[in-house]
Structures are given as structure tokens and as C-alpha cells.
Amino acid sequence: MNNSQLKLGLVLFFFLPIFISAQKVESRKVFTTTPTYDEIISTYTALVKGSKIAQFKENGTTDIGKPLHLLVISKDGKFDPSSNSSKTKILINNGIHPGEPDGVDACIELTKAFLAHPEMLPGNVVILIIPIYNVDGCLNRGNISRANQNGPEEYGFRGNSKNLDLNRDFIKCDAQNTISFEKIFQQWKPDVFIDTHVSDGADYQYVMTLIATQRNKLNPIEANFMDKEMVPALYSAMKEKKYDMCPYVESIGETPESGIEGFLETPRFSTGYTSLFNCLSFVTETHMWKPYNDRVWATYEFLLSTINYCSKQNDTIKKLHRDADDFVASEKKYSLNWALDTTQFEWISFRGFEAKHKLSEVSGLQRLYYDRNAPYEKQIKFYNTYSSTANVIAPLMYIIPQSYSKVIERLQLNNVTMKCLKKDTAIKVGVYYINDYKSPNSPYESHYLHSKIKISSDTQLIQYYKGDFVIQVNQSCNRYIVETLEPEGGDSFFAWNFFDGILQQKEWFSDYIFEEQADSILKSNPAIKAQLMTKKISDTTFAKSNWAQLSFIYRNSGYMEKSFDRYPVGRLNQFAKLPLE
């Protein structure tokens, strides 16, 4: 290559992305519709035909029986994870809510641009695109389910074929879609993840708002880079493209002027799940009241801006990911739950519309509206500091009975290394008892999700059996392990009802027969008798109930089954010579 060719190559590398980003508006496609599922798949199939830099393949299935597809774009034509280990891997997920299809169209346009101009594709980035994730909902097409949305003309439905919101499924994995997604994620281990969405809520001037992984719960090695470097750079890039962004608008009060709070994406959400594995994660939220065409191109520009930034920061991003994985593998203290710290905030510039009230013609009462003839730009409070409300010191190992196969399957799906006991063994372990919890009266995403979980601890000799699983907590996926297996966690497997069998007592007593035994227990156990007398004095209803008093004695005696309310996952805090396969 001579000097002239080298100079031309450098010019193309640095300016072609800008050129493609800054196409004349009139030369761009104007979006009023979004493709059907069959059109999406046929479009990608046609685009990659004969391409040396793109591969389009089926990667698992979905609840409705249709395949989940993955597009891989790699400049050197290498399409497997091991051949791309030095590149920043960016996974883009579209259509988790098919009524929010902006990313579907944006990614088709992005793919067209890269395949038409392969010279604009950075060589140190590999792009992974799930063209439509909720295939089920995409097939359930209409134009009325999102009553306030400004286009497209038709779109898919939020729920999948099981009527699940797939963006609440990343821990419980009820959907085959989720299982297929997690296989892709664990196979590729992306460094950056983007989930494309459309927002509703307050009206304001921005086409695009952004959720970045909440900084307090992100791995500390990555948090400063994400908060101080990557996010500001993306905001700046979008501003240059005339798509100013602001944080996702979650108002503290009735309107944004009261202040907005950072969105806490817990592990049930896509970015809450991906960030457990030290993946820098984003949710794009275009505004549903803005024209569909503007929303698609804003999403396109954000995706392109992220790709270009990752190319420039490839070495840094890869190193941070490796360092964060190493840190987690030796980390001991973990935060399980979080609460917004309302004493801390920063002032940000916000461009909104004046919120006003007028008489409703429907109810005759005062109603809120936003006056688009009264735009403003003012400083508002942005609350984006969360404090941990529950912490845990991880054990050296967890032990899980093989009978909990659904838990085991999910751990294996997420590449958790486990070993099995090779013979029946009694092991002294730390155990939890579930002392209290709250559950809703109606199901949430097919589960009666537990909350406000209170536990107590004990140490017991437990009989385990050949084939039971032992997990050493020294892995890069430790956060996933701890946050799913510690029952207090808001998205733990216990919270999602995987261990509900322990919450029902199995053995009882016959009161007329147990009377004599109860009398004998009280005579030989002064402590139980004292507790009984104290409760009778403090609780008059209890004092009047023979059954309640017998039950109290039964529960506090050796007759009561120890397994009732005992969380079955054991904790080992000292290394022991276990017979492991």
C-alpha cells in the first residue's frame, strides 16, 4: 500500500461513518410502516446472500415454535465467538415488545449501510443483531393495542404467545424465547448490550431518552467509565446529529419538573440480567408521541454512535470487562436490593412542554395536559443515586439438592460451573429459614412474586445425596449466582416461587391425642412453658384457643418438622473435603 492509498484508507475509516450518519434527510427512507415477521426474515436473508461480512442463522426457538434468528456482522468474515475475542462484541436486541418496533427498522437500515459500505465497518467490533426477539407478539399484529402511539400503521403485541412480558422473564425463564436469548448471550459474552424500546409517559421535546445501567449497581471497575466517559460521549454524539437525549423520564411527582429518577433495572429486565455479567448495557427509549420516522432514525443514529465509540475504545472496554470478571470472581460482599437516595441529585438541562390542567370533557374534573405551544428549557433534578438495602457475604460454596431441577437448569444455562456429590453425604451447612414474606393476590407474569422477605440463619447437619450439586463461589458469574440463590434478593429464585414447596407444613397432630404429649413437653421443658405463659398473657385470643396453644407447643418441640420454611440451598463457609465428581 502506497502513501496515497494509506491516506485514503484513513479518510474512509474516520469519515464514512459520519457520511452515512449525515445522509441528506430527503435521501433517507421515510418510515410509516414496520415489516411483518416474514418480511423481516426475508429481508435479512436477502441482504446477507453472498456477503462475506454477514451471517444470518437460526439460534434457538420461541414459544410459538418459530426460530429465533441472529445476525452477525464481522469485517474479517469470522462468525464464531472464539475468533472475535479481541473485538468489542455488541449485542442489539429488537422487538422484545413488538409494539415498539423502532429498532427493528433501524437495524435493517444499519445492516443495509454496512453491507453497502463495508469499509465503514470497524474491524475491531463485531455486531450481533436479534432482528425480532418476541416473534410471538410480532405475529399478533394490529393497530390499537398502543392507543396513544404515533405510528407505525400496524405493529405487534406486547405479550408473547403465553401472554408473558419477555422483559420481565430473564431470571425465571418461563419462555423459550428467553432460553434461546440466554444461550446466545452466554455463547458470545457481549461487552455491550442495547435493547431498543419506545416510551410513553410525560410529553417533552426529546425523540430519544436513554437508560444506562444504573451506576451504583454496576461493577465498580466499569461504573466510572460508563458514567463519566461512555454515556457523556454518546450524549455528545447524538447532540451533534441533532438528536439531543435526556435520561429516561421517570417523574418523581406528577410531571418532570418535579425531578426524574434513574431507572433501576433489576435482574428480571434484560439490562438488569446482562449487567450481572459485567456487560455495559443500555435501553433506548424513543417517545411514542413523536413521528415513527423520527424515532427510527434516532435509534439508528444511537446504534451507529455506539458502534463507532466502541471501536475507538475497544482496548479499554475489553480490559474493563476482563478486570470486572476477575474482580467478581474474588468478590465477597454483594448487594441484593436497592432504594433511591432522595437526598442526592444533580441538576440537568431538560427541554419539556409546560404542564397545565383544564376541565376534562369526559369526567368533568381537572385533567393534566402538556401544552406543545409552550416549550421550555430549564434545570430539573435528576436523582440517580441508589443505596443498597440488603447485603450478603457470599459463602465459599452453595449446595443445591438435585430435586430442584428447574433451578439447576437455569444455572447451567448461564454457564455456572457445578460439581456433583459422588456419594450420599451428611454435611454441616448454614441454612436459612423464611420467617416472613409478602405475595400479591393476583399473579405477576405467571408467578406470585414474593417480596419483603425476612430470614433467619441456623447451622444444621443436612443429609445430601449422590448427584446433588455444589457451586463454588469463585466465578465471573458470581453476581448471577448470589443474586438468584440468596432468598432476600428481589429477583431471587425464591422470590420467583421456585422453592414454594418448603412453605407448606406436611405433618400435623391430633389435638385430643397430643394433649398428654404436650403436657409432658411442658413439664420437661421449662423454657417452652415460660414462652407459652408469656404469649398467653400478651395475646388474649391465643389464651382462649386450645388448638393455638397445642400448636405453639408442637412447633417449639422436637416433633415439628425441621424442613418447614427451611430454604433448601445450603451454604458452606469453610472448605470441606467433599466427595465430588
- The pLDDT assigned to 455 comes to 98
Q: Are residues 436 and 526 in the same domain?
A: no
Specify if 336 maps to a domain. no
Query: Within 13 Å, how many C-alpha atoms sit on residue 335's CB side?
Result: 14
Q: Are residues 413 and 297 in the same domain?
A: no
Residue type, 535: K
The total number of structural domains in the chain stands at 4
Sign of the alpha-carbon dihedral angle for 544, 550, 551, 556: positive
The number of angstroms, rounded, from the C-alpha of 135 to the middle of its chain's C-alpha atoms is: 19
Strand partners, 434: 455
* Distance (Å, whole) CA 95 – CA 292: 15
Please tell me what DSSP assigns to residue 124: T
Geometric angle at alpha carbon 149, from 146 and 154, rounded to 5°: 70
Rg for the chain, CA atoms, rounded: 28
The answer to whether residue 23 scores a pLDDT higher than 80 is: no
Mean pLDDT for the chain overall: 94
Specify if 4 maps to a domain. no
The structure's pTM equals 0.93
Task: Say if strands 125-130 and 88-93 run parallel, antiparallel, or are unpaired.
Answer: parallel
CATH for 198: 3.40.630.10
Spatial CA neighbour of 493 closest among 242, 245, 268: 268
Q: Are residues 321 and 360 in the same domain?
A: no
Q: Are residues 302 and 169 in the same domain?
A: yes
Q: Helix, strand or coil for residue 336? A: strand
Tens of pLDDT, residue by residue over 38-62, are: 999 999 999 999 999 999 999 999 9
Give buried/exposed letters for 324-356 (b at 16+ CB in 10 A, else e).
bbebbeebeebbbbbebeeeebeeeebebbebe
- The pLDDT assigned to 16 comes to 52
- The pLDDT assigned to 49 comes to 97
544 contacts: CB under 8 Å, gap ≥ 6 = none
CB 16 within 8 A of CB 119: yes
Q: Are residues 440 and 481 in the same domain?
A: yes
Specify if 18 maps to a domain. no
Query: 45 is written with which cell numbers?
Result: 436473508
Q: Are residues 144 and 51 in the same domain?
A: yes
Specify if 120 maps to a domain. yes
- Quick one: three-class SS letters along 264-276? CCCCCCHHHHHHC
* Distance (Å, whole) CA 63 – CA 59: 14
Q: Are residues 190 and 230 in the same domain?
A: yes
CB 222 within 8 A of CB 259: no
* Distance (Å, whole) CA 182 – CA 159: 19
* Distance (Å, whole) CA 479 – CA 484: 8
Tens of pLDDT, residue by residue over 75-116, are: 999 999 999 999 999 999 999 999 999 999 999 999 999 999
How would residue 571 be classed by pLDDT, with cut points 50, 70 and 90?
very high
* Distance (Å, whole) CA 63 – CA 44: 22
Specify if 6 maps to a domain. no
Specify if 289 maps to a domain. yes
Sheet holding 245-247, edge to edge: 54-61, 67-74, 125-130, 88-93, 192-199, 280-287, 208-212, 245-247
- The pLDDT assigned to 20 comes to 58
Specify if 30 maps to a domain. no
Scan for cell 440488603, then name that residue.
Answer: 390
Tens of pLDDT, residue by residue over 152-205, are: 999 999 999 999 999 999 999 999 999 999 999 999 999 999 999 999 999 999
Q: Are residues 90 and 157 in the same domain?
A: yes
Q: Are residues 279 and 397 in the same domain?
A: no
CB 190 within 8 A of CB 84: no
What is the domain range of residue 236? 43-329
